[in-house]
Amino acid sequence: MLLIHGLQSSPAEMLPLAKRLYRSGYTVHVPHIRGYGYKHGDDAHSITHWEDWHAKALAEFHALKQQYKTVAVGGLCIGAVLSLSIAAELGDEVAALSLLATTLYYDGWSIPWYRFFLPIGYYTPFRYIYSYREREPFGLKNEQLRKWIAREMSHKDSSMAGAAKLTLPAVHEAELLIKSVKKSLPRVTAPALIIHAVDDDVSTPRSARFVAENIGSRTVESILLHDSYHMLTIDNEREQVAADTIRFFNAAHATRTTV
């Protein structure tokens, strides 16, 4: 099982899901992708191109495929978009997909109004100066966890919810990835589970609907959650997210082995 965390975040945000999958018998790999994820000391110049993210995720998949007969893929936010990107290329090689808070549109209620002016800086020196500082609710409906993340963000450059700041090159490359994936969705054939929060503060269910309506997979299941925001793997309904992912992957594996 390959799990891909969100943009400029770390494997830590996927650990609750990874642990549940492991206890259910799955081998789980949650890699850090250089230039996509975040490590202490990274800045705007550390960001690589989305094609590099895709190539690295693809390499991680192939490394697992050399060891295991079937490999499923799951991702959160842009990690879900990256999962779709490799699934579009690999076709039936991907056993199943768990797409969590897939972000094809930054249209959630916590996105600042000036977000739509950011493309002006994509091709200017401004791209290395400006960074968007993460702020409450940090994708979390769970108030206790949100307070803990706020404390972490106040004196550190990252937390379990990702980097304290999102750089402009990262956002730009993510949007180029999104543009590519929107076009390639019909080539995705793996069974797909789409989980999204009704009140997602970063990306509304419009993204989930777009995937469900345009993906090439014959088996597609969509679930809307009502007690979470964007960070589905660590928020209030993380146990349901894990249980539904395990159930879906088990069913996909059973179908695959009987065909």
Q: How does pLDDT run across 189-217, given as a tens digit for each residue?
A: 999 999 999 999 999 999 999 999 999 99
Torsion sign (Cα): 158, 161, 162, 163:
negative
Query: Higher model confidence: residue 63 or residue 155?
Result: 63
Burial environment of residue 53 by CB neighbours within 10 A (0 to 12, 13 to 18, 19 or more): buried
Burial environment of residue 141 by CB neighbours within 10 A (0 to 12, 13 to 18, 19 or more): buried
Instruction: Give tens-digit pLDDT for 112-139.
Output: 645 555 665 566 655 555 556 666 788 8
The pLDDT assigned to 48 comes to 83
Burial environment of residue 220 by CB neighbours within 10 A (0 to 12, 13 to 18, 19 or more): middle
Question: How confident is the model over 94-116, as a mean pLDDT?
Answer: 85
Largest CA distance in the chain: 56
pLDDT at 160 over 80: no
The pLDDT assigned to 113 comes to 46
Instruction: Give tens-digit pLDDT for 26-45.
Output: 999 999 988 898 776 665 55
- The rounded mean pLDDT for the chain is 88
Distance (Å, whole) CA 231 – CA 18: 15
Instruction: Give tens-digit pLDDT for 38-91.
Output: 776 665 557 789 999 999 999 999 999 999 999 999 999 999 999 999 999 999
Distance (Å, whole) CA 9 – CA 14: 10
Range from 195-199, 222-226, 254-258 carrying the lowest mean pLDDT = 254-258
The pLDDT assigned to 134 comes to 65
Structure tokens at 249: 């992957």
